[in-house]
Chain A
Amino acid sequence: AQKVTQAQTEISVVEKEDVTLDCVYETRDTTYYLFWYKQPPSGELVFLIRRNSFDEQNEISGRYSWNFQKSTSSFNFTITASQVVDSAVYFCALSEVTGGTSYGKLTFGQGTILTVHP
């Protein structure tokens, strides 16, 4: 069975600090996708990034960057120069192909609460 672990329950930083959110996953499949979602205090879920199991190229988008390492089954997310507006719950999620089929079902981690203080 697949599993996603976000060991950091809460992180508190001061504005402009860099912060890394950890995500470790378990899956038996060779084909899978990893996602990061953001849930701001308003409650909605906002898609941030997707990465497939064949693409280990790290990505940078503005202040956000992602580090995908299959060798350690990790998909970590870094915010550079954090801002108060980054305060939210961040979820890592996994979607795998089982037996050649997939219905896009997501397995979520427990989430990491990030608080950025001014």
Chain B
Amino acid sequence: NAGVTQTPKFRILKIGQSMTLQCTQDMNHNYMYWYRQDPGMGLKLIYYSVGAGITDKGEVPNGYNVSRSTTEDFPLRLELAAPSQTSVYFCASSYAGNPGETQYFGPGTRLLVL
């Protein structure tokens, strides 16, 4: 049981390039989330999904896209990378999305846009 896995661990992008951050969970969780953590700041929600085929915006969705074709995977797409997207990205999951439910976080992807 690997929990929540993310790839890559670290990536450098040039301005305007695109990339997909991968997130996979093997806990059969219905809810999945993408957060970003800027230096010295707390995490902010980018997008979330309540199940396969259903996604919705969080607090800071601009510049990102997501899809959820399977229960296990929740990739985050950056179409035109900008320096403001330099951050650490965390994927998380929970079974039922209840407010008191523990979210399990992946190890994070560190992204640097130059």
| B74, CB-defined interface residue at 8 Å | no
User: A109 to B43, alpha carbons, bound, how many Å?
Assistant: 8
- A residues within 8 A CB of B107? 43-44
Q: In the complex the two chains form, is A95's CB within 8 Å of B50's CB?
A: no
Chain A's closest residue to B96 (CB) is A104
Q: In the complex the two chains form, is A110's CB within 8 Å of B99's CB?
A: no
Q: In the complex the two chains form, is B42's CB within 8 Å of A105's CB?
A: no
CB distance from B40 to the nearest CB of A (A): 7
User: A9 to B42, alpha carbons, bound, how many Å?
Assistant: 11
| A61, CB-defined interface residue at 8 Å | no
- B residues within 8 A CB of A96? 99
| B103, CB-defined interface residue at 8 Å | yes
Stretch touching chain B among A12-20, A45-53, A66-74, A80-88? A45-53
Contacts between chains A and B (CB distance < 8 A), count: 69
Q: In the complex the two chains form, is B100's CB within 8 Å of A33's CB?
A: yes
Q: In the complex the two chains form, is B90's CB within 8 Å of A45's CB?
A: yes
With contacts A45-B105, A97-B99 taken as known, whether A103 is within 8 angstroms of B31 at the C-beta atoms is yes
With contacts A4-B42, A45-B90 taken as known, whether A106 is within 8 angstroms of B103 at the C-beta atoms is yes
CB distance from B79 to the nearest CB of A (A): 24
| B44, CB-defined interface residue at 8 Å | yes
With contacts A45-B90, A45-B105, A104-B94 taken as known, whether A50 is within 8 angstroms of B100 at the C-beta atoms is yes
List A residues 74-118 near B (Cβ within 8 Å). 91, 93, 95-97, 102-111
User: A94 to B43, alpha carbons, bound, how many Å?
Assistant: 12
Chain A's closest residue to B105 (CB) is A45
- A residues within 8 A CB of B96? 104
| B27, CB-defined interface residue at 8 Å | no
- B residues within 8 A CB of A31? 99
User: A93 to B103, alpha carbons, bound, how many Å?
Assistant: 11
Among A9, A93, A104, find the residue whose CB has the most chain B CB atoms closer than 10 A: A104
| A64, CB-defined interface residue at 8 Å | no
Closest 9 pairs between A and B when the two form their complex, measured CB to CB: A108-B42, A104-B97, A102-B99, A45-B105, A95-B99, A33-B100, A108-B43, A103-B97, A110-B42
